[in-house]
Amino acid sequence: MKRMPAEWEKQRAVLLSFPHERSDWSDDLSSALSVFVRIAQAIAYKEPVYIVCDNKESISSLFCSTTNMTFIELPTNDTWTRDYGIISIEEDSVTKFLDFTFDGWGGKFDAHLDNEVNKALQKKGYFGTTPFETIDLVLEGGSLESDGLGTILTTSECLCNPNRNGGLSKSEVEAKLTEHLGATRFLWLDHGYLAGDDTDSHIDTLARFVNPETIAYVKCNDKNDEHYEALALMEAQLREFRTIDNEPYKLVALPMTAAIFDQDGKRLPATYANFLITNYALLYPTYNDPMDKVAGEVFKTLFPELEIIPINCLRLIEQGGSLHCSTMQIAV
């Protein structure tokens, strides 16, 4: 039997990849690094962190303590490990790591170095004796949500996009995810997007499993906002979904920030759905917006057993991603 564990299941570590002078963060590297340092520190308080970087000595010097941190020198294009990091599955009660192809979200950006990171980590021994398989299929971790029970929540805009795998049909995608992830149920969102998002509507920017019966999702209440109609249609579709017990999901709305723009007037993809669940904490992105506190209260209700840690991610959305996009959990 094969399955993709849910994010809230036990993790051995979280993978991060730090920005460097040859990445898109070079215009203000120090401010970008400060966000990644904060994320790493919040995780490493009680859980191991693997930090891919260009210089172990310089990056480790940014921390007061490096307990639970492993620094690994590897060349990278960028920092979005959610989309090129290994995907953990469980097969016959044994963890296995899958290395899918990462093509820079449909060829939008150069990703040839990022696409080699998993193989390099495996070759260097950081995955130990865990079975490892490279699969000839374009697939990004941010495009998948698993309830740990065989259900995959995803978006048709991403997985059926012609820029991934030539444009597979839903049935063809389902066959691939059944084969490689052991998926048995599929919940397809056909609506919803965020302005400024380069991922073609990754699910982790829009709607997330909190547990097998609960989905947290982005809700827009401003009828004048460009997202209002698409997100209302997404909400309606979420209401039609059923759990494995054929019950409606408990839906929990996450607020939207006021529109945030870069210096060129481009709207940035701020979303509270881009949170990370670790063994002991829930890390969520903030954006210097009044809704930061509202989102925090929602997360306290959803995850009463976890420490709730806000991370200012304004710098991250300048490059199109946020907190969850910057991390990838590794199963035990």
**Which tens digit of pLDDT belongs to each residue from 264-298?**
999 999 999 999 999 999 999 999 999 999 999 99
Residue 321: what pLDDT?
Answer: 98
Domain that holds residue 279: 2-331
> Quick one: residue 125, left, alpha or beta (phi over 0 = left, psi -120 to 50 = alpha)?
left
Residue 96: what pLDDT?
Answer: 98
The mean pLDDT of the chain is 98
Interacting residues of 205 by C-beta distance below 8 A, sequence separation 6+? 142, 194, 197, 199, 218, 269, 271, 273, 274, 322
Distance of alpha carbon 214 from alpha carbon 302, whole angstroms: 9
Residue 193: what pLDDT?
Answer: 97
Compute the average pLDDT of residues 40-57.
98
Residue 288: what pLDDT?
Answer: 98
pLDDT tens figures, 205-257:
999 999 999 999 999 999 999 999 999 999 999 999 999 999 999 999 999 99
pTM for the whole thing? 0.98
Residue 265: what pLDDT?
Answer: 97
Compute the average pLDDT of residues 92-110.
98
Domain total for the chain? 1
CATH number of the domain to which 223 belongs: 3.75.10.10
pLDDT band at residue 160 under the 50/70/90 scheme: very high
Residue 43: what pLDDT?
Answer: 98
Residue 12: what pLDDT?
Answer: 98
Distance of alpha carbon 174 from alpha carbon 322, whole angstroms: 27
Compute the average pLDDT of residues 139-167.
98
Percentage of the residues of the chain whose pLDDT score is greater than 90: 100
Residue 252: what pLDDT?
Answer: 99
Residue 80: what pLDDT?
Answer: 98
Compute the average pLDDT of residues 68-82.
98
Residue 79: what pLDDT?
Answer: 98
Residue 204: what pLDDT?
Answer: 98
